């Protein structure tokens, strides 16, 4: 009998699926190929809806079909030279960051937000470990400036502490009834945050490297976890730490369309859609940069992504 359900966890050719009736079944893929997943580095990701059947007396099953995805968040997998699906059918993406441990990296946040825009998924930023006192006030000022700019251009910022519980009530009100993807570098406390929200059994968490100020990839696979906190219920997708997100799904000519504050200006330059937004007289994006409407760091992130995609395209065309 064919059943439908949601993929909770993937590991090689093993997939934990929860049926619509609440039964959890460990499945494999029939023939290891799903037509709808062709062209991707991985066939399935947490959040995917599938058709499956139970095939053995011990309760194991087999996935027969991947159902259409409402949203898909990807990254470009350089090793496999193909898009890698991180999550499917999510309602919200939250980029988790910290001030000092590990250090605040706004360029990484920029990339996550761009990829969320490509996926048409609403995004927010979570500043975790707010219970920790900052040693460098210069770091604090720089961070607050960037966070204020993220809010200005339309990305909510939630300040929380997985340790003390501060801010979690406000955060989970925002998450009620949603499927939420957490993305961040190793050590920012994604798993600790989910544990604070009632994960059972608790997820494994690791210590931060004092030498390199980064985490040690304690989370080794993405998994969807049902949580209830303060009367709010939601699914949270924990993911392994990402050191660098490689943009997927657009060309270098399209990057400006996925920066919120750039997009309304695209096509208004003197050179129209041919403008590179680097040196042209009459470039509206450069004018907005000079006027302070576009933050200098955001512009540098924009140029970095354009260069990366240009180089990848040149390599692919060799």
- 5-44, pLDDT tens digit by residue? 999 999 888 999 999 999 999 999 977 667 777 889 999 9
How far apart, in whole angstroms, are the C-alpha atoms of residue 314 and residue 42? 25
Arithmetic mean of pLDDT, 173-200 = 93
SS (H, E, C) 280-310: CCCCHHHHHHHCCCCCHHHHHHHHHHHHHHH
Per-residue pLDDT tens over the stretch 49-67: 999 999 988 889 999 999 9
Per the model's pLDDT, the better-predicted residue between 31 and 183 turns out to be: 183
Q: Domain ranges for the chain, please list them.
A: 2-68, 86-238, 252-316
Distances (CA, A) of 65 to 4, 77, 92, 122, 173: 9, 24, 25, 27, 34
CA-based R_g, the chain, Å: 21
Q: State the pLDDT confidence band at 210, using cuts at 50, 70 and 90.
A: very low
Domains 2-68 and 86-238 share a fold: no
Q: Within 13 Å of residue 163, how many CA atoms lie on the same side as its CB?
A: 8
**Residue 311 tokens, joined:** 């180089």
> Which class would CATH give 2-68?
mainly beta
Question: Which fold, 86-238?
Answer: Rossmann fold (3.40.50)
Beta-bridge mates of residue 51 = 4, 65
How far apart, in whole angstroms, are the C-alpha atoms of residue 83 and residue 247? 9
Arithmetic mean of pLDDT, 287-309 = 97
Q: State the pLDDT confidence band at 104, using cuts at 50, 70 and 90.
A: very high
Is pTM, for the whole model, over 0.85? yes
Mean pLDDT rounded to a whole number for the chain: 91
**Residue 291 tokens, joined:** 């006027």
Q: State the pLDDT confidence band at 213, using cuts at 50, 70 and 90.
A: very low
């Amino acid at each position: 009998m064919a059943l439908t359900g949601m993929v909770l966890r993937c590991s090689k050719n093993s997939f934990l699926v929860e049926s619509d009736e609440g039964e959890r079944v460990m499945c494999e893929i029939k023939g290891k190929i799903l037509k709808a997943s062709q062209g991707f580095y991985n066939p399935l990701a947490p959040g995917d809806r599938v058709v499956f059947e139970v095939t053995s007396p011990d309760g194991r099953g087999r996935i027969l079909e991947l159902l259409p995805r409402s949203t898909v968040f990807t990254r470009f997998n350089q090793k496999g030279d193909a898009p890698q699906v991180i999550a499917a059918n999510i309602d919200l993406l939250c980029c988790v960051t910290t001030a000092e441990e590990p250090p605040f990296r706004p360029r990484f946040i920029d990339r996550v937000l761009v990829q969320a825009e490509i996926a048409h998924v609403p995004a927010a930023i979570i500043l975790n470990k707010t219970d920790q006192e900052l040693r460098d006030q210069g770091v604090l000022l720089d961070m607050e400036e960037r966070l204020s700019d993220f809010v200005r251009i339309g990305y909510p910022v939630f300040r929380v502490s997985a340790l003390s519980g501060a801010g979690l009530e406000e955060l989970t009100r925002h998450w009620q009834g949603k499927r939420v993807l957490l993305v961040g570098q190793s050590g920012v406390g994604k798993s600790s945050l989910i544990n604070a929200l009632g994960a059972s059994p608790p997820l494994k968490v690791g210590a931060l490297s004092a030498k390199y100020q980064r985490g040690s990839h304690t989370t080794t696979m993405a998994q969807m976890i049902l949580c209830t906190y303060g009367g709010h219920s939601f699914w949270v997708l924990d993911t392994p730490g990402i050191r660098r997100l490689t943009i997927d799904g657009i060309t270098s000519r399209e990057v400006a369309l996925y920066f919120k504050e750039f997009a309304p200006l695209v096509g208004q330059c003197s050179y129209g859609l041919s403008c590179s937004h680097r040196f042209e007289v009459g470039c509206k994006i450069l004018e907005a940069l000079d006027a302070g409407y576009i933050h200098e760091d955001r512009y540098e992130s924009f140029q970095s992504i354009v260069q990366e995609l240009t180089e990848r395209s040149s390599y692919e065309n060799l």
